[in-house]
Structure 1
Amino acid sequence: MASQAQLDMLKKIKSDNGFIAALDQSGGSTPKALRLYGVEETEYTNDDEMFTQVHLMRTRIVTSPAFNGKRVLGAILFENTLDREIGGKSSAHFLWQEKNVVPFLKVDKGLQDEADGVQLMKPIADLDSLLAKANAQDVFGTKMRSVVKLGNKAGIDAIVAQQFEVGKQILAAGLMPIIEPEVDINSPEKAQAEALLKAAILAQLDALDADQTVMLKLTLPEETNFYSELVEHPKVLKVVALSGGYNRQEANRRLSQNTGMIASFSRALTEGVNAKQSDDEFNATLDEAIEGIYQASVS
């Protein structure tokens, strides 16, 4: 049974304008995220210190006056962030109660080695306990990433089947899954992969029960409005776009051309913010980033 908070979050995601901030860099991607933020690897000596540094970065972002529910619909958190506090509250409660930003939780455990042109997700052994933890903190939904490298039908069908299989487990726990089969922006077969991916997703959507809906997180496509059938599909709450390595200017340009898709950017969101900036500089830089991404999301 959804909590009142989760029902209010559903209404916000469905009806309000804005985008989703991806603040979910985990073990492998954290050193790079910190380096881009101006924190060198010499400034921490172990994983705990590293995650403390990245939590300070995320705290500075979400407590900034630029970051609130007027332009930011939701934020995706890493489990380590969920276990920490911001402003004396659990991170998820702070986001919703203080900022009116809907919390999501990254639940995947990373990627398997490439096979058939894709990287499936590693098994998520503790998913049920993770979903229970998320529900206890009024988290609205989850996200899980796998990666498509080539236009291989067998691989793409497998990746989409895995995403929806885990997605149904998440739905059964009362949470909204963000299905994320990322297409590598450097794939030599990107357009071909996108065509196979759309067909596989449509087949899985059509097989969902009448009361089941999901969100989709997809790489910005080569063909403008290529995912319009997914945007308009009755089983899809929202289609969000990942920046995938495009810089913010290019990601915003592509996003603004795709009607109905909204951003869920990570690196493109934090591009330009730096640990060494004064609060005024940091807030102005973040405000400019948020405004640009917001405008691309509502165009």
Structure 2
Amino acid sequence: MNQRQFDKVHGNNGFIAALDQSGGSTPKALRLYGIPETDYSGDDEMFDRVHQMRTRIITSPAFDGSRILGAILFENTMERQIDSKPTAQYLWEEKQVVPFLKVDKGLAAEESGVQLMKPIPELDALLDRAVANGIFGTKMRSFIRLAQEGGIRAIVDQQFEIGKRILDKGLVPIIEPEIDINSPEKAQAEAMLKENLLAHLNTLAPDQKVMLKLTLPEQADYYRECIEHPNILRVLALSGGYSRVEANERLAQNHGMVASFSRALTEGLSVQQSDDAFNAMLDASIQSIFEASKR
């Protein structure tokens, strides 16, 4: 593990940029950026377009390690290049931004009020490629809609089972059990989730450090016990569909959590913008999220 990267993620002010839209969410991300589905044909062209978008973001002068701790990449992005360097290498060497990799393969059908992750059959091979590419950590997402104890327990069990395999490869897993911001049982689901997370954190060895990525809670500082747990490297907040303004307002009330925003980060960016307008919009977005993420 890269100690400089570990120290940065653990100790610095800043936030994690989520640039990991995958096959299912890419068309929406492109649409919001001003590229309709009629502008490309097939997955190859779609991923070319989204890589152009991500390259424009990452190479912007607004995007660097002074305010951004890390960036989460999609597998396809990790395997591409920016300015003739592999993306993860470019992020760290040119921008001092720590690279993470999304490793899940999407969500299974809902059962017991939740969606577990689909199986990840080639996980070991993917993790080996991640290590070879200089990736620091990983991210995997599950989804909670209702406060059903059995479903939430199953999600956390699955996340930590796979998380331990990731730890064994020398990578830091970001465990993301997202709670639907529109759930009619959001506060009850948060209580069940926190209890299960703490139970699993208490089973880890002292040298096993993980990160959590959680929906912004209904009660300010609700996840403080997780933030202060000795096995936690950092607790991230996802925007979950909140606008950037609301996500920032909620985040500022949760001390010790830092942003890991996707749509809220890229809100307002457009392929039609001049570079000056694009960079100014991105700079303002990054600054607002950075301020909300300060300790």
Normalised by the shorter chain, which TM-score bucket?
A: over 0.9
Taking structure 1 as the reference length, what is the TM-score of the superposition? 0.98
Contact 2:216/2:251 (CA < 8 Å) preserved in 1? yes
The one-letter code sitting in structure 2 at the alignment partner of 1:274 is S
- Looking at structure 2, the residues matched to 200 and 16 of structure 1 have their Cα atoms a distance apart, in angstroms, of 28
CA deviation vs aligned residue, 1:190-236 (integer Å, no higher than 9, x gap): 00000000000000000111211100000000000000000111010
2:127 aligns with 131
2:224 aligns with 228
Secondary structure of the residue aligned to 1:25 is: coil
The one-letter code sitting in structure 2 at the alignment partner of 1:159 is I
- Looking at structure 2, the residues matched to 296 and 151 of structure 1 have their Cα atoms a distance apart, in angstroms, of 28
CA deviation vs aligned residue, 1:240-277 (integer Å, no higher than 9, x gap): 00000000000000000000000000000000010000
- Looking at structure 2, the residues matched to 64 and 82 of structure 1 have their Cα atoms a distance apart, in angstroms, of 18
1:73 aligns with 69
- Looking at structure 2, the residues matched to 266 and 172 of structure 1 have their Cα atoms a distance apart, in angstroms, of 28
**CA offset at residue 8 of structure 1?**
1.3
Contact 2:70/2:98 (CA < 8 Å) preserved in 1? yes
Q: Tell me which of 48, 57, 64 is aligned to 1:61.
A: 57
1:19 aligns with 15
Secondary structure of the residue aligned to 1:93 is: helix
- Looking at structure 2, the residues matched to 34 and 48 of structure 1 have their Cα atoms a distance apart, in angstroms, of 14
1:153 aligns with 149
CA deviation vs aligned residue, 1:146-190 (integer Å, no higher than 9, x gap): 000000000000000000000000000000000000001010000
- Looking at structure 2, the residues matched to 186 and 277 of structure 1 have their Cα atoms a distance apart, in angstroms, of 33
- Looking at structure 1, the residues matched to 7 and 235 of structure 2 have their Cα atoms a distance apart, in angstroms, of 16
Contact 2:102/2:139 (CA < 8 Å) preserved in 1? yes
Secondary structure of the residue aligned to 1:238 is: strand
The one-letter code sitting in structure 2 at the alignment partner of 1:60 is R
- Looking at structure 1, the residues matched to 175 and 111 of structure 2 have their Cα atoms a distance apart, in angstroms, of 20
Q: Tell me which of 37, 42, 57 is aligned to 1:41.
A: 37
Contact 2:147/2:186 (CA < 8 Å) preserved in 1? yes
Contact 2:31/2:37 (CA < 8 Å) preserved in 1? yes
Secondary structure of the residue aligned to 1:207 is: coil
- Looking at structure 2, the residues matched to 212 and 185 of structure 1 have their Cα atoms a distance apart, in angstroms, of 30
- Looking at structure 2, the residues matched to 92 and 18 of structure 1 have their Cα atoms a distance apart, in angstroms, of 18
Taking structure 2 as the reference length, what is the TM-score of the superposition? 0.99
Q: Tell me which of 273, 282, 285 is aligned to 1:286.
A: 282
Identity %: 65
CA deviation vs aligned residue, 1:97-137 (integer Å, no higher than 9, x gap): 00000000000000000001000000100000100001001
- For these two proteins, the number of residue pairs brought into alignment is 295
Unaligned runs of 5+ in 2: none
**CA offset at residue 7 of structure 1?**
1.7
Contact 2:206/2:230 (CA < 8 Å) preserved in 1? no
The one-letter code sitting in structure 2 at the alignment partner of 1:191 is A
Q: Give the alignment of 1:38-187 within 5 angstroms.
A: 38-187=34-183
RMSD: 0.6
Matched, 1:263 2:259: yes
- Looking at structure 2, the residues matched to 34 and 16 of structure 1 have their Cα atoms a distance apart, in angstroms, of 31
**CA offset at residue 15 of structure 1?**
1.4
- Looking at structure 2, the residues matched to 289 and 188 of structure 1 have their Cα atoms a distance apart, in angstroms, of 30
Unaligned runs of 5+ in 1: none
1:215 aligns with 211
Matched, 1:241 2:237: yes
**CA offset at residue 282 of structure 1?**
0.1
